[in-house]
Structure 1
Amino acid sequence: MRVCIDKYKFICTILLFIAASTGFTARLAFAAEAQKIFYVRPVPENDDPYLQQGSDGIKQAAQMYQMQATTLASQADRAGRQKQLENAIRLGANIIVMIGYEFRELLDTVPRTAPHVRFVMLEQCISNPPPNLLCISFRESEASYLAGMEAALVSVSGKIGVIGAVKTPLKQKPVDAFIAGARSVRPDADLNHIVWIEGSQPFNDTARAEALAKSMLADGVDMIYAAAGSSNNGVFKALAGNSKARAIGSYVNQCPRTAGKVIDNMQVHGDTAISLAVAAILAGSTATRIEYGLKEGAVSLTGISTDAAYSDCDILRQRPVLQKLREASQAIIKGKLKVD
């Protein structure tokens, strides 16, 4: 039986090495054989590529550990999400994975009703998580620092902008790292165009994002870090009418769909994080918080990733820039360059 499908061969190799080094590979093959892993989406099926990583992640884990993987899509309200979490419990879930800030209000209640189930939550947590809840956070600042370097090295005007979704400490931190990265290679860069969409739908307000981007472009900004989820589509729409400006996308590879307007991306690999978390759980970990970054392959820049050649990102044409980014990435991974 093939344990790793080709698409996930690199990740599988890493995870299987981890399993072997801790001496529980054989135990996993038997203990996990009949286990069930569920991914509960916060909204109905849509074209959000980051939410799709939840399904990909549980499928990857299921391939590796002979588990049964199921995705349940919720109606877009609290009642709908709670119902699907309860359905997963009723259907015998051993592990339930969630992605989306929409689940935050349920983290202190639903897991406590099913202490025998391990819940995995990406990017959100509560102050005192129940013992069966594992909160995964990402060291986005590491990849955002590299993105800032990249923006400063590529910008012609020296005017660089950032469009984020909602200003919280969690989201401010990678923006601060982006600014630090830009200043590390271009101290005189103009980084005064930092704006937030806010409102009731900060991650899905393309009209607001487009308006903010157009305002930046009118002021001479020629590089925009688009860090606002699905709202990024509004940024890309604004860029379509500008021959000089470009963007760095976020969370997923957004290069192929933007006709060269996105040169690279700060990616968050939720699927990788899910596989790593499942490996930790099956190994007996009782942790309630885990953090992943460049070293674990959970965040990256598309342009210097292992599959960069297939990304359609224009940054691949700028080899001197890529070399500087690779060197900085290795310095972060080895602990020689600290990114707070």
Structure 2
Amino acid sequence: MRRVSRIAVAGVATAALAVTASACGSSSSSSASSSGGDKNLGLALAYDVGGKGDQSFNDAATAGLEKADKEFGYKSTAVEPQDGESDADKIQRLETLAKQGYNPVIGVGYAYAPAVKEAAAKFPKTTFGIVDDEQIKADNVADLVFHEEEASYLAGVAAAKATKTNTVGFVGGVDIPLIHKFEAGFKQGVEDTKKGVTVKSQYLTETAQEGGFSSPDKGENAAEGQIDAGADVVYAAAGLSGQGVIKAASAAKIWAIGVDSDQYLQEALKAYKDSILTSAMKNVEGAVFELAKSVEGGKPATGVVRGSLSNGGVSVSNSNPKFADDADIQAAIKKAEEGIKDGSIKVKTS
């Protein structure tokens, strides 16, 4: 089983246990898999590394599942990843879910790309989704992707306005193009907002298998190093590892910026929330729900479905009153949002 954050509360640790793929009928009348089932049991999530309880990416997908269950009377399911699993393991997982009658079946994370491609070809009547990959071209696959760089740009604006040491940090979970987008947008937002601010960047691992997205201790150590070097705002795009970054920021009484979900509101991070300035969010919850809604309505979404600042797919959170009530920060954020939306600000992706 995956490792659970050592700063997670007991309730979250319990919730992070594997959810088995149990099935029973629902009120949905959507088409089922090519195995010939009469009913759609609901949607199915296959989690990425970090799994349920990461207070970030995977939990946002879970919120979309729960919303679909409530809206459509589904009895959906979600399945945890296993350490060291292969593409063959992922393929078997997706095919089993499709065969049981779940629709849509969503791989939560780019690592599912080969598995989604193969499973979708075998189950053409099932809609598949994949979060954070847009390379699969198939009539029954929706590529759920985001302009992460736009939300990260706004995070950079906030960091530049909040820093007093003129040094801020970025912690990336894994050194891959997806996370480079977070870093690029953040750096550009900082530089465009306040000249002379140094951005210190560090990636935790070269591959996801090394724990870059699932090791709070790695995140904590990286953040401590940046804080020792003068950073007083640290932004993490590192999944579960980001919890360690937030913990380190809280201990040092500096600002952390969360990612993917509104981490100020996460129960597992309650002890540290006063140190969470804002979060650069991407609406994975909405993407998961809307895909389920399209299947339920009989017109499944396919192709690239991209969330942006303009369509509400990415944003920054306002839950912390110190952020929401800071007129200087809010004015700078608003100006940046307008510039991105009207095209006068072109946000880099690398």
Q: Give TM-score scaled by structure 1 length.
A: 0.79
Aligned counterpart in structure 2 of residue 230 of structure 1, from 220, 240, 243: 240
Instruction: Note the aligned Cα RMSD (angstroms).
Output: 2.7
* Structure 2 residue 280 is matched with structure 1 residue 266: yes
CA distance in 2, matches of 1:233, 1:168: 20
Match of 2:186 in 1: 178
Q: Aligned pair in 2 of structure 1 residues 56, 290: CA closer, same or farther (>3 Å)?
A: same
Displacement of 1:31: 7.0
Report Cα offsets for 1:32-83 as digits up to 9, x if no partner.
Answer: 596443222336964123313323213434555x463411314513465444
Match of 2:106 in 1: 97
Report Cα offsets for 1:227-270 as digits up to 9, x if no partner.
Answer: 11111122123223323x21111111222421411111101121
CA distance in 1, matches of 2:306, 2:197: 31
Report Cα offsets for 1:132-170 as digits up to 9, x if no partner.
Answer: 211111011111111101100110011111000112222
Displacement of 1:286: 6.2
Match of 1:277 in 2: 291
Match of 1:114 in 2: 123
Q: Aligned pair in 2 of structure 1 residues 45, 286: CA closer, same or farther (>3 Å)?
A: closer
CA distance in 1, matches of 2:330, 2:128: 38
Equivalences for 1:59-74 in 2 at 5 Å?
59-61=66-68, 63-64=70-71, 66=72, 68-74=74-80
Equivalences for 1:7-46 in 2 at 5 Å?
32=30, 35-42=40-47, 46=52
Match of 2:23 in 1: none
CA distance in 1, matches of 2:340, 2:191: 17
Tell me the amino acid that sits aligned with residue 166 of structure 2.
G
Q: Show structure 1 runs of 5+ residues with no match.
A: 1-28, 304-310
Displacement of 1:313: 5.3
SS in 2 for 1:156: coil
Match of 1:207 in 2: 217
Tell me the amino acid that sits aligned with residue 228 of structure 2.
A
Percent same amino acid among aligned pairs? Answer: 21
Maintained 8 Å contact 1:74/1:81:
no
Runs of 4+ in 1 over 6 A off after TM superposition: none
Maintained 8 Å contact 2:52/2:80:
no
Tell me the amino acid that sits aligned with residue 264 of structure 2.
C
CA distance in 2, matches of 1:117, 1:285: 9
CA distance in 1, matches of 2:44, 2:94: 9
Tell me the amino acid that sits aligned with residue 198 of structure 1.
T
CA distance in 1, matches of 2:73, 2:337: 34
Aligned counterpart in structure 2 of residue 218 of structure 1, from 228, 241, 244: 228
CA distance in 2, matches of 1:163, 1:261: 16
Aligned counterpart in structure 1 of residue 315 of structure 2, from 300, 305, 314: 300
Query: How many aligned positions are there?
Result: 301
Tell me the amino acid that sits aligned with residue 214 of structure 1.
E
Bigger Cα displacement from structure 2, 35-44 vs 104-113: 35-44
Q: Show structure 2 runs of 5+ residues with no match.
A: 1-26, 32-38
SS in 2 for 1:51: helix
SS in 1 for 2:251: coil
Match of 1:195 in 2: 202
Report Cα offsets for 1:180-213 as digits up to 9, x if no partner.
Answer: 111111121112x111001511101222222221
Maintained 8 Å contact 1:42/1:102:
no
Match of 1:139 in 2: 147
Higher relative contact order (CA 8 A, sep 6+): 2
SS in 1 for 2:117: coil
Maintained 8 Å contact 2:291/2:300:
no
Maintained 8 Å contact 1:148/1:181:
yes
